[in-house]
Structure 1
Amino acid sequence: MFETLAALFFAHVLADYVLQTNTMVETKDRALTLALHTLAVFVTAVIATGSIDWRIATLAGIHLLVDIAKTVWIRKRDDDGINPYLLDQAAHLLTIIAIAAIAPTLWANGIWAREFGNGGLINATSWAPKVMLLIAGAIYTTRAGGFAVGKLMGPFAEGAPKESLPAGGMMIGLLERGLIYLMFIAGQPAGIGFLIAAKSILRFDAASNNAKAEYVIIGTLASFSWAIAISILILTINNGLNGTALLEIIPPKD
């Protein structure tokens, strides 16, 4: 199951955050855009799992329905903030988990596992799902987290620091989420404390302005929370691939 889950998650990240352009996001209410994006969801899942299966088509179909529901939500409520974004991603992830549970052998029966697995020369079964999972986790932690934090901070834009580098805050967010992800993957989550301390010192000047300080604090906590939550999710799936306790964050010492 976990091999299939890793492959489907990798496909989802590619379809939503690599192959989907800003223009496609802005024109999601058009039938052609939805069709192209749904096709990308299907094709990436087929390539990642190495399988052409009706359950992958079902996954793509549900993805389409979720995207339509999100578009209707945004249009009717005039709300393109954090709530529809989180609900959209939660629905996609739950669908991926459900498909992986219903069809756990999608990866095992796929071309990659059949041709290169089972102790073969390359033995893709042993490493490919882990590589896909780690790459997808890095993209989802940094890029997807950037969209989440940006949508959350939209209503607080008046408190944003005015004297800053162009896209400086976005780059800081990408770097801090990336560092948190690396610390978790390396089994050193305690290092996050040093990251918090360093940012607090560097942002000390914000304390002189209440609005700016609150903006920075909210954005930082949101960014850290996203990175920690996704890192734990990735470690849980990775533990499943390794056959260890799912919620084991720090590997035990020998």
Structure 2
Amino acid sequence: MILFIKLLLAHLLGDFIWQPNSWVKDKEVKKHKSIYLYFHILLHAVLAAILVGKISFIPYAVLIAVTHGIIDLIKLNFQKPNTKRTWFVMDQIAHILILIGIVLLYQGETINFLWLNNQLWVLITGILLITKPTSIFIKTIISIWTPESQNSHDDNSLATAGNYIGILERLFVFCFILTGHFEAIGFLLAAKSIFRFGDLKEAKDRKLTEYVMIGTLMSFGTAIITGLIVQTVLLQLL
């Protein structure tokens, strides 16, 4: 379990947190000719090797990186503008299956850094999962329903504010789950609804209302499920 958590953490760092948008755009244009593709592959190998923390795992880290590059190349060469969502989901499923396969292949105990115990590995992975990776996942899934009013630039809105609001609300929900304050989740959802009510009322756009509701429910739902899973794993590790 802990080996998989460490590999998942490495994947989240390499695929989302430490992969700039400029890398993604360059890979989509140049595909196998993009130097950032190979930086990306190398980053996954280094992260997997470092986080597992055992010399004997280095060949497996290289295997993870190579298969990751192959999967990415397949996605880059076959995805189209209208199939990006499908390829994104398939790409992530393939990466996770590879990690599961590596865990099954690798025999032997992993070591923990002195400053990180098993519980902290799980906690860090859960927190990272509900930040940028979840934002990208939600944006990818609901982009097919984006209302026209959302596509136009709003001078009164802060750049990327919605993204950071979503991350913060998921972190709050995550903390409420782990601390057992489920009632606070209802308070947060109600507060967001009140603040959003004015915008939606002025917009008079049913599609925009439904779009916001879907995004909000997916955001809260992901945070709740992640929080419950992390809570369960932490209890098992005690």
- The answer on 1:158 being equivalent to 2:148 is yes
Q: In the TM superposition, what whole-angstrom CA distance separates every residue of 1:15-42 from its partner, at most 9, and x where no partner exists?
A: 1123212111112224422221111111
1:58 equivalent in structure 2: 63
**Cα distance, 1:68–1:106 mapped onto 2, change above 3 Å:** farther
Q: In the TM superposition, what whole-angstrom CA distance separates every residue of 1:22-76 from its partner, at most 9, and x where no partner exists?
A: 11111222442222111111110110011232222222222122212221232xx
Q: In the TM superposition, what whole-angstrom CA distance separates every residue of 1:149-204 from its partner, at most 9, and x where no partner exists?
A: 22233331414394533322122111111112222232334432222222112212
- Separation in structure 1 between the aligned mates of residue 107 and residue 149 of structure 2, nearest angstrom: 48
1:91 equivalent in structure 2: 94
1:212 equivalent in structure 2: 208
- The SS at the match of 1:43 is helix
1:1-254 equivalent positions in 2, closer than 5 A: 2-28=1-27, 29-31=31-33, 32-52=35-55, 53=57, 54-74=59-79, 77-79=80-82, 81-103=84-106, 105-108=108-111, 113=112, 122=114, 127-155=116-144, 156-160=146-150, 162=154, 163-205=156-198, 206-207=200-201, 209=204, 210-242=206-238
Aligned amino acid, residue 13 of structure 1: L
Shift of 1:237: 4.0
**Any runs of at least 4 consecutive aligned residues in structure 1 with deviations exceeding 4 A, and if so which?**
none
In structure 1, runs of 5+ residues without a counterpart are 117-121, 243-254
Q: In angstroms, what is the RMSD of aligned CA positions?
A: 2.5
**Cα distance, 1:194–1:153 mapped onto 2, change above 3 Å:** same
**8 Å CA contact retained: 1:141, 1:230:** yes
Count of matched residue pairs: 225
In structure 2, runs of 5+ residues without a counterpart are none
- Separation in structure 2 between the aligned mates of residue 105 and residue 191 of structure 1, nearest angstrom: 42
Of Structure 1 and Structure 2, the greater helix share is in 2
- Separation in structure 2 between the aligned mates of residue 87 and residue 193 of structure 1, nearest angstrom: 33
Report % sequence identity: 30
**Cα distance, 1:66–1:239 mapped onto 2, change above 3 Å:** farther
Q: Compute the TM-score of the two structures, normalised by the length of structure 1.
A: 0.77
- Separation in structure 2 between the aligned mates of residue 48 and residue 185 of structure 1, nearest angstrom: 24
